[in-house]
Amino acid sequence: MNTLSENIYVVVMAGGVGSRFWPFSRNNHPKQFHDVLGIGESLIQSTVKRFSTVCPTENIYVVTNREYKSLVNTHLPELAPDQILKEPVGRNTAPCIAYACFKIAQKNPNALVIVAPADHVILREQAFLKCVRQGVAAAGKENILVTIGIKPSRPDTGYGYIQYVPDGAKAVQKVQTFREKPSLELAQAFLESGDFVWNAGIFIWNVQAIIGAFKEHLTDLAELFESGSAVYYTADEEVFINTVYEQSRNVSIDYGIMEKAQNVYVILGDLGWSDVGTWNSLYSVAHKTLEGNVVDGNTLLYNTQNCIIKTPQDKLVLIQGLHNYIVAEHDNVLMICERKNEQQVKDFVSDVKANKGAMYV
């Protein structure tokens, strides 16, 4: 293994619940620990496997809620205890990334760090690895913050967008601005302009560049996590982190750093990517039958088209006459919902919690 790969580290963010993917994604078993695509491995297993040719296994870190430690151990038994970073409470992506990067810097001040969510689907893995290699090469030469932007295939209002300055001669393009989730009209304009990409939330930087960015833009978080330099990789780390998270504010890396920093670049990717944040986003990337159905379960279907059906293998499910529906059963919940109304799933979760109890969410 070459010396460059020894300096590459991967941080997998695995702390979220993903409530829009209810009833599969639950508080006690979030979607990153499910085999969402029906391929025999969970999303977090697929994510870690994706990086198996990028860096040694011992350089892969998972940041998760401490409640999910046993799930991480079950899905990724190859990780040592020091590679599982346990958050006592969710504080968004900036504290999560600060924790991982300040800890890695303590071990290897020359580290090149790739940050990726645990619950995304990437169908074109070789294209993704090419983007990663380009980002690592760029971040190894300069103190820049690199993100991977997804070429949009539709005017989607569920994603943030990145506008870049086109320069066809370079693999990395200068970022002009980050834009929050737009209206449909604005998303259409972004698509037509040709210089906007979806923000996938995948980052690459050398560890000194991101620490410098924290010190400039999120000074409070930099001071908190830098103060733990002496306790990382020791028995005192967990107590320190529990204290620090009580003092950390809730802020995303996009809002806290990426939207403000002047040294942000993007690599354009056509990766077959989805954040699998909703049922329809899973439908868009999953294999479909001739009738347009996405099916994972033991089913018999009659006059049923363009549905997404995910049900237990040990239960026969017979469906007749459904068109454009979501049928999802997991554990003690069955949900049947029109696909066009999938945005109501979050409301369903709130109503269920209020009226039926936390055991269902």
Domains of the chain: 5-274 (3.90.550.10), 287-356 (no CATH)
Question: Which residues, in sequence order, are bridge partners of residue 113?
Answer: 9, 205
Identify the pLDDT of residue 3.
47
Identify the pLDDT of residue 4.
53
pLDDT tens digits for 173-198?
Answer: 999 998 888 889 999 999 998 899 99
Q: Is the pLDDT of residue 58 over 90?
A: yes
In angstroms, rounded to a whole number, what is the distance separating the alpha carbons of residues 333 and 353? 12
Question: What dihedral angle (degrees, nearest 10) is formed by the CA atoms of 46, 52, 58, 63?
Answer: -30
| Residue-averaged pLDDT of the chain | 94
What is the residue whose two structure tokens read 């074109």? 124
Q: What token pair was written down for 217?
A: 């833009």
CA angle, 192 as apex, 190 and 195 as ends, to 5°?
60
Tell me how far apart the terminal alpha carbons of the chain are, to the nearest angstrom.
45
Helix (H, G, I), strand (E, B) or coil at 7: coil
Q: Is the pLDDT of residue 2 over 70?
A: no
